[in-house]
Amino acid sequence: MKNKDLLYRITVDPKIMVGKPTIRGLRITVDQILKALAAGIDTDELLEDYPELEKEDIEAALLYAAELVAEEKIYKIGV
């Protein structure tokens, strides 16, 4: 699946989870997925815990985070 198609899985709706980025409008946020992965939960376990998730949803969450970090700007202050 192309990156552009993956990112369509990430939705932002102020009526769902206070506007946090979610997966396909579900009440599963991108940060929930990222924190679970960071805590060592593997993809298969995550898919088992959230049966409505698909493998591509996890890939989309990772890509979304990577895109945000890629856009981050660092400014040197007073050195």
CA end-to-end span of the chain: 45
- Rounded to an integer, what distance in angstroms lies between the CA atom of residue 55 and that of residue 43? 8
How far is CA 65 from each of CA 1, 12, 40, 71, 79, rounded to the nearest angstrom?
17, 14, 17, 10, 30
- Structural domains of the chain ordered from first start: 3-71 (1.10.10.10)
pLDDT of residue 79: 67
pLDDT of residue 17: 96
Show pLDDT as tens, one digit a residue, over the chain (79 residues).
Answer: 788 889 999 999 999 999 999 999 999 999 999 999 999 999 999 999 999 999 999 999 999 999 999 888 888 888 6
